[in-house]
Amino acid sequence: MVHGPTAGSPVPPSAAPKDLPSVDRLLRDVAIAPLVAAHGHHFVAVQARRLLDNWRRLALDGALPAARLARLPQALESQCAARLAPRMRRVLNLTGTVLHTNLGRAVLADEAVQQVLACMGSPNNLEFDLALGARGDRDSLVEDLLCEITGAEAATVVNNNAAAVLLGIAALAGGREAIVSRGELVEIGGAFRMPDVMAAAGATLVEVGTTNRTHARDYEAAITPRTALLMKVHTSNYAIQGFTASVSEAELAPIAHARGLPLLTDLGSGSLVDLAQWGLPAEPLPQQMLADGCDVVTFSGDKLLGGPQAGLIVGRREYIQRIRKFPMKRALRLSKLPLAALEATLRLYLQPDRLTRDLPTLRLLTRPVADIEAQAARLLAPLQSALAPRYAVRVAAMRGQIGSGSLPVETLPSAGLAIAPQLPGKRGMGRALEELMTALRDLPLPVVARVQADELWLDLRCLDVSGAEAELLAQLPQLKAALS
């Protein structure tokens, strides 16, 4: 069957391949000179070749409107700009999950960002002791801060908490046995499952107890001359409820120490301040774990701590020393960028009264619901007028999450805007929601929201009142245009 032009919609005449200039000729065009001056000949030539290849294919199909040829310089400029547009971008997190792993987890404090900016464009004293004028250790940039905050004797840092756990097990139990309760053989996400980590670290996992109940005598009975480590894993991303029993660090430490064995706890989140003081669900603190007798505690830098991706390892000097000297440490070491951010973040913890103001993670987690409700009320009319008549907007109570596996059983009371497509029935509902979500993601500052039943929910907990709220408002005309 032959498709011809339909009557009433005349197809514009197509340019022929021979009408297109060569790459060289295009690059000599005076209109292209500013592009070449800005980006150099090589880059512009590569983009020009791609653009001309595309257009040549269209021309061969008779699908390149001849009028488009005059706009070749502009098309090349757009293509150059698109190729150079950053892939990693800011977004507005309106999902209601404060520590959203897909959205970069913790947002850094201003001071942490400033420290990165101040040190990264120049040489710095990453491993240089300025007092002695001699080679230093990068750990020393944060070790005393971690010790002061947690009460540990020593501390070291690696790339993330998964690395901290792997390194801790390898250094303390490689070639020997590590005892873990069956109730704590967690999968954290991705390929990080405790039995596999044990194997990768070269340790033999000895499981004790059952899924729901493990007793002190289970650990005692499993200790043999081959045992090198007792380990606890904080079950941060799920909860076992009902008929349960587990052995706390405080009970387990004397059992380990009586046999000369270390006790390692993987805390995961590792909040450094008691969240219960703000009415949030309590998380175990590294400082408490150490006071309870743990020899080594590992936790993340970018979960509740509110800093960069990092794995923090604190504890008794002899074990931290073994971990630091273990060859794998070199492969897992923390880079200077997160180290700068981590140092600045930890300095905020020396001034705990500032945390809920200056550390974004804690500022967002402790935001009063009344504040979020007031923000929702402010945004209702502007959003409604941008989305009418296709969508209706209402203020709604919502429940968000801390995120990153923290306390998934608990939700955070929040508020926001619930947006419903205005359709006579359910037909087309999915498409209307999809279209709105896409339009939000296509904004210059993309907005990420979540679908809840047949509505799109914008949870406002993470929309900072100073700055981000105005940025959202400023984009509403574009949103309106995209949907009309």
Ligand X SMILES: *Cc1c(COP(=O)(O)O)cnc(C)c1O
Binding interface with ligand X (CB under 6 A): 160-162, 165, 188, 233-234, 236, 266, 268-269, 300, 311, 405
SS3 92: strand
Q: How far is the CB of 359 from ligand X (least distance, A)?
A: 18
Q: How far is the CB of 197 from ligand X (least distance, A)?
A: 9
By C-beta, is 249 or 266 nearer to ligand X? 266
Distance from CA of residue 405 to its chain's centroid?
Answer: 12
By C-beta, is 166 or 386 nearer to ligand X? 166
Answer for the pair 138, 329: CB distance below 8 angstroms, yes or no: no
Q: How far is the CB of 198 from ligand X (least distance, A)?
A: 13
Q: How far is the CB of 104 from ligand X (least distance, A)?
A: 12
By C-beta, is 234 or 333 nearer to ligand X? 234
Q: How far is the CB of 320 from ligand X (least distance, A)?
A: 18
The pair of three-digit structure tokens given for residue 21, joined into one six-digit string: 């200039």
Instruction: Write out the E strands in 40-161.
Output: 92-93, 97-99, 128-129, 134-135, 154-158
By C-beta, is 267 or 344 nearer to ligand X? 267
- Residue nearest to ligand X according to CB distances in the complex: 268
Q: How far is the CB of 300 from ligand X (least distance, A)?
A: 3
Answer for the pair 263, 274: CB distance below 8 angstroms, yes or no: no
Cα-based angle 199, 202, 206 (whole degrees, multiple of 5): 60
Give the largest CA-CA distance in the chain: 92
Beta bridge partners of 206: 179
By C-beta, is 95 or 300 nearer to ligand X? 300
φ, ψ dihedrals at 43, nearest 5°:
-60, -45
By C-beta, is 286 or 311 nearer to ligand X? 311
Distance, first Cα to last Cα, the chain: 36
Answer for the pair 298, 163: CB distance below 8 angstroms, yes or no: no
Distance from CA of residue 200 to its chain's centroid?
Answer: 25
By C-beta, is 77 or 207 nearer to ligand X? 207
C-alpha–C-alpha distance, residues 233 and 411, integer Å: 22
Q: How far is the CB of 176 from ligand X (least distance, A)?
A: 22
The pair of three-digit structure tokens given for residue 325, joined into one six-digit string: 């000297």
Q: How far is the CB of 308 from ligand X (least distance, A)?
A: 10
Report the candidate in 166, 94, 99 with the shortest Cα–Cα distance to residue 303. Answer: 99
By C-beta, is 54 or 244 nearer to ligand X? 244
Q: Is 373 exposed, middle or buried (0-12, 13-18, 19+ CB in 10 A)?
A: middle
The helix (H) or strand (E) run that includes residue 297 is: strand 296-300
The pair of three-digit structure tokens given for residue 246, joined into one six-digit string: 């587990």
